[in-house]
Amino acid sequence: MAQKNRMNAEEEQMKKRLRELAERSYRGNCYTFTDFLSLAELSCYYELERELSFAGGKVSGGSEGRERCMIRFGNPQELGYEEDFPIVCLKIEPLMKKFAEDLTHRDFLGALMNLGIERSTLGDIILQEKEAFLFCKESIAPYITENLTRVRHTSVLCKITEEIPAEGEADLKDIKIQIASERIDGVIAKVYKLSRSDSAALFLQKRVFVNGRLCENNSHMLKEQDQVSVRGYGKFIFAGGQGLSKKGKLNALVQVYGG
């Protein structure tokens, strides 16, 4: 109960902040921006999207398909000009790739946190072989490029790049599962080897997101190419059914990130 009350309080605080930014943009005839928001925080915006439509909200994380995103309030047609999101992409690469460790998302994030950086200034981190690409607020980029010189035991070079990475097929692991239907709680249970009751509990805990939006309905039916994120477990793409098994079960393919 205490945890639920805390979560509700955090949601109300976020909604209050979003309303303030939207109102400031509308009354001041200017663009306003949030920090990078988590999926849970973005869900607060989607709940208010219609209410705040007067302020022309737009969501971006630096490129398509990002989880951590900013919201910009301001309508270009009414303001008469366009203002880009204050997001830059940094490329973090080992000085000697041959001797670099196999670094994880947690390794890169930990190195950044050790610099005293607020998580809200950082977007997604995308791993590609021994390199990483980081989306961050433009204002913090110079500090990161100057001070991020080591991740675990690997010396790294960090620089602003125009190269926009995408999580490609190399980041996905194909997993074949058998399910009774496309119902989301059953799919999650199969993917992460959970009981149906444990899977259902994730929805009550507001830990499941479909295509970036909170999903509280554990009987929701997934569609082909839906992207599912489960806080604390990971994310996957539901690639769809592939016919029936001899026992009448649905054969399905999911593509798990970082598998």
Residues 210 and 187 in one domain: yes
Residues 126 and 153 in one domain: yes
- Please indicate, yes or no, whether residues 147 and 177 belong to a single structural domain of this protein: no
The total domain count for the chain is 3
Same domain, 178 and 251: yes
The residue out of 107, 126, 161 marking a domain boundary is: 161
pLDDT tens figures, 162-198: 887 765 444 678 999 999 999 999 999 999 999 989 9
For residues 204 and 176, is the Cβ–Cβ distance under 8 A? no
pLDDT for residue 139: 97
pLDDT on residue 8: 79
Specify the pTM.
0.81
Q: Mean pLDDT per 10-residue run, the chain (259 residues)?
A: 71 95 96 96 93 95 90 94 96 88 91 96 90 95 97 94 67 86 94 93 92 92 93 90 78 84
User: 243 is in which domain, residue-wise?
Assistant: 169-257
**Start-to-end CA span in the chain (Å):** 34
Looking at residue 76, its pLDDT comes to 93
Nearest to 64 by CA among 156, 126, 146: 126
The CATH number covering residue 103 comes to 3.30.70.330
